[in-house]
Homo-oligomer: A and B are copies of this chain.
Amino acid sequence: MTSDLNVCLSPSLIPLYNVADHIVVIIDIFRATSSICFGIENGAAAIIPVSEVEECAAYREMGFDYLLAAERDGKVVDGFDFGNSPFSYTKEKVKGKTVVLTTTNGTHALHLSRSAKKIVIGSFLNLTALCNWLKTQDENILLVCAGWKNNFNLEDTLFAGAVVDQLKETGLKLDDAAIAANDLFQVGKNDINQYLKKTSHSERLKALGIEKDIEFCLQVDITTAIPVLDGERLVKLVG
C-alpha cells in the first residue's frame, strides 16, 4: 500500500490526522527546531522542550545539572543560561549536557503529536539527512508545522515543502497541503531569506534583533544528526 506524505499546516489541525499512524516531523524553523538540530549535532546529551519559562525554572529546583534556555521578547530571562539562539548551542556550551529549552509553538506541536509512531525534529540544517532517513521508513509521514500562535506561517511551510521536494519521487501520496507547501518552496527556494522578508513575521523577528539567527537557521545541510523524542527528551537518533 502506498504510504502518505501529509503536511499539517498548524498545530490546530493535528487532531484531524490519525497521528498514531504516522512518523511525525516537528518543524519550528525560527528558531526552536533549528537550535535543537544544532545542539544535538554538537553533542548535547538531550534537549528537553518545555512551553513556559516557569517549567524551565522548575528543572533547576529539581537540582539537576541542566542548562536552562529561556527567552522572553528576544532576551535571555534573568537567571537562565541562554536563550533560543542557535549560536548558544555550540559544542563548547552543550557537549555532554542536557538542555531545557523553552519554546511555546514547538512544544505545543510536540505534545499534540505524542501518539505518533516516532517524533523527529527537522530544520534546514539537517534537511537531507532527515529526508534520507525518512526514505528508509515504510510509514506514513506527517510534517507538522509549529506555526505561530496556532496558525499558519510561511517559514515552517516552506521547510515542509523542501522535505516534500526530496521525497515526492518516492511514490508517497501527497495531500493538498503537501502539494501547496512544495509549490511554495519552488517559489521561494532560490532565496528563502529574501522570500520570507515579505512576511509580517519577518518584521517581528527583525524587531527582536535576531537577523543573524535567521540567516543561521536558513543554512541547508550543515548538520546530519536527527533528534528523536525519547520520553520527554530529544536525543540523537541512532541508525
Partner of A13, one of B152, B153, B175, B186: B152
Q: Are A175 and B200 interface neighbours, CB within 8 A?
A: yes
Name which residue of chain B comes closest to A10, CB basis.
B13
Contacts of A21 in B (CB 8 A): none
Q: A12-B12, A13-B152, A16-B150 are in contact. Are A198 and B180 (CB under 8 A)?
A: no
Is A157 part of the contact surface with B, judged by Cβ < 8 Å? yes
Bound together, the chains give a CA A184 to CA B8 distance in angstroms of 17
Identical chains in the assembly:
2
Bound together, the chains give a CA A144 to CA B236 distance in angstroms of 41
Contacts of A173 in B (CB 8 A): 200
Name which residue of chain B comes closest to A150, CB basis.
B16
Chain A to chain B: the 7 pairs with minimum beta-carbon distance, closest first: A154-B176, A152-B177, A183-B187, A16-B151, A153-B176, A12-B12, A176-B199
Give the interface size class of chain A: 20 to 34
Name which residue of chain B comes closest to A198, CB basis.
B179
Name which residue of chain B comes closest to A148, CB basis.
B176
| Cβ contacts A7-39/B at 8 Å (1 or 0 each) | 001101100100000000000000000000000
Q: Are B12 and A16 interface neighbours, CB within 8 A?
A: yes
Is A60 part of the contact surface with B, judged by Cβ < 8 Å? no
Is A212 part of the contact surface with B, judged by Cβ < 8 Å? no
Contacts of A174 in B (CB 8 A): 200
Nearest-neighbour CB distance to chain B for A186, whole angstroms, equals: 8
Bound together, the chains give a CA A176 to CA B12 distance in angstroms of 16
Contacts of A149 in B (CB 8 A): 16
Is A72 part of the contact surface with B, judged by Cβ < 8 Å? no
Is A201 part of the contact surface with B, judged by Cβ < 8 Å? yes
Contacts of A12 in B (CB 8 A): 12-13, 16
Q: Are B187 and A152 interface neighbours, CB within 8 A?
A: no
Contacts of A152 in B (CB 8 A): 9, 13, 176-177, 180
